[in-house]
A and B are shown apart, each in its own frame.
Chain A
Amino acid sequence: EVVMTQSPATLSVSPGESATLSCRASHPVNSNLVWYQQRPGQAPRLLIYGASSRATDIPARFSGSGSGTEFTLTISSLQSEDFAVYYCQQSNNWPRTFGQGTKVEIK
């Protein structure tokens, strides 16, 4: 299976600053990479699909990039509601696999 590795595990950021999250796949997954946000006690929410396409109603401050094995999620000008855990997931192969998550916390 494709192993997804996210870094860092925790990112401390001040409100209004930007955050850059990384995701690496153990095998190339083309652009079949998805990002989700999970707030405490909630189900994950789709943010980015196809590595760089924002889902419906997702603010423009969220952007994704990359292809193959290296991917990045950038959150510009962090708002209070953005402090959460972010997961990447590959949708190129079965079984679908997720990274272990990056927690974005308030600095």
Chain B
Amino acid sequence: QVQLQESGPGLLKPSQTLSLTCSVSGGSISSGAYYWSWIRQHPGKGLEWIAYIHSSGSTYYNPSVKSRVTISMDTSNDQFSLKLASVTAADTAVYYCVRERLPDWYFDVWGRGTLVTVSS
């Protein structure tokens, strides 16, 4: 059974860069059958999809954060990562790493989420 686990700092100051890593266990990130995404949830709010990466190297970013975000993957360690530059308090959220199944197009495996707080 595939499991995802987020890791990274929980507290950042404004203008810093958020860096999160998702470790995939029980399966290979190199499988072409999935997109690997980051989704965030602001406190008490809804869900916002941020970006995906595929084993082919293809990526796509939400225009709302495109200028600040980079997604990458390390197939040798079955990990993928998110970097979000120039964070502000508006980036405070729970960040989830998620697997999207192709070609059925649904998020079927979610990490437990990690809370990132941006505060001076």
Contacts and interface: CB of A to CB of B under 8 A. Distances in A.
A, B bound: yes
Interface of A: 1, 32, 34, 36, 42-46, 49-50, 55, 87, 89, 91-92, 94-101
Contacts of B49: 95-98
B47 A32 contact: no
Interface string B38-62: 0000000111110000000000101
A43 B46 contact: no
B111 A101 contact: no
Given A43-B113, A94-B60, A100 B46 contact: yes
B62 A44 contact: no
Nearest to A55: B108
Given A1-B63, A100-B46, A43 B108 contact: no
What range describes how many residues of B lie at the interface?
20 to 34
A43 B110 contact: yes
Contacts of A32: 105
Nearest to B107: A46
A34 B110 contact: no
B46 A101 contact: yes
Contacts of A44: 47, 96, 107, 110
A99 B108 CA distance: 17
Contacts of B37: 96
A34 B47 contact: no
Contacts of B64: 95
The interface centre, meaning the residue of A1, A89, A100 with most chain B CB atoms within 10 A of its CB, is A89
Nearest to A48: B106
Contact of A50 (B96, B100, B104, B108): B104
B46 A46 contact: no
Contacts of B111: 43
A46 B60 contact: no
Contacts of B47: 44, 87, 89, 98
14 contacts: A1-B63, A32-B105, A34-B106, A42-B112, A43-B96, A50-B104, A55-B106, A89-B47, A91-B100, A91-B106, A95-B60, A96-B49, A98-B47, A100-B46
